[in-house]
Structure 1
């Protein structure tokens, strides 16, 4: 995972790591940020890693800064171009690894189930 936040007018890497809870706490109510998250998908027959690009606009962010996010996102996406799903979330209720996995599963095509046949 990687988190990119604003430092004045610059966008900087504010965190990296592997733990989802460490990732989640970096997104505050008055933050504008971008996240890049790798989630392992699949079942017991097939494992694969999928990438998610996240735009976070906290509920306390002002109108002008909200509007500027589309331009800033375009710049970040020039660097981070490899992802299966792109999401924009604005509340902590949406900030859920299960929700992210569901979105990746929808984008991933075929889902083969458990790999165990009923006889």
Structure 2
């Protein structure tokens, strides 16, 4: 399909061939064009978009939603879902504000063992497109999709804090 890439292709050919995982019984196909567009939109400083969610539609991974409100991001995940979330979060102290990015791999508690096992291969396909993030989390419960938890993880990964000890939330 146009705008997709294959895993079997040579690295220089990956931009024009479909990404397909041949190792699984049902091949995973990535909607590369739309996922890349959503990824670029989240990364853009000129966009209101703060997050994108990529879900399975049969064997295809598609961009299922984008938005700016964290509560809407949280609503995208359910116990039966296998999904990926990419989110922009402002971190830092009163002296230095930074935009950081987080990749979430979500495997709901009702997902079958076989589908869980496929997620590592499928995640590598997503990471061919969604390649820039400070923190990567694998979550199983919707209660773990928490903005304060995400900020804490990003702050831990950020290293030194040279501020006065006061953080904006």
| TM-score in terms of structure 2 length | 0.66
| Counterpart contact for 2:95–2:163, Cα < 8 Å | no
Q: Secondary structure at the match of 2:128?
A: helix
Query: Unmatched 5+ residue regions in structure 1?
Result: none
Query: Unmatched 5+ residue regions in structure 2?
Result: 1-50
Q: Secondary structure at the match of 1:37?
A: strand
More RCO (CA 8 Å, sep 6+): 1
Matched residue, 1:11: 61
| TM-score in terms of structure 1 length | 0.93
Q: Residues 8 and 84 (structure 1 numbering): CA distance in 2 closer, same or farther, change over 3 Å?
A: same
From the two aligned structures, give the one with the greater strand fraction.
1
Which deviations, in whole Å up to 9, do the C-alpha atoms of 1:47-67 show, x marking residues without a partner? 100000000000111111000
Q: Which moved more, 1:38-47 or 1:2-11?
A: 38-47
User: C-alpha root-mean-square deviation of aligned residues, in Å?
Assistant: 1.2
How many pairs are equivalent? 116
How far the C-alpha of 1:101 sits from its partner, in A, is: 0.6
Is 1:24 aligned to 2:74, yes or no?
yes
Mapped to 1, the partners of 2:68 and 2:162 lie a distance apart of 27
Is 1:66 aligned to 2:105, yes or no?
no
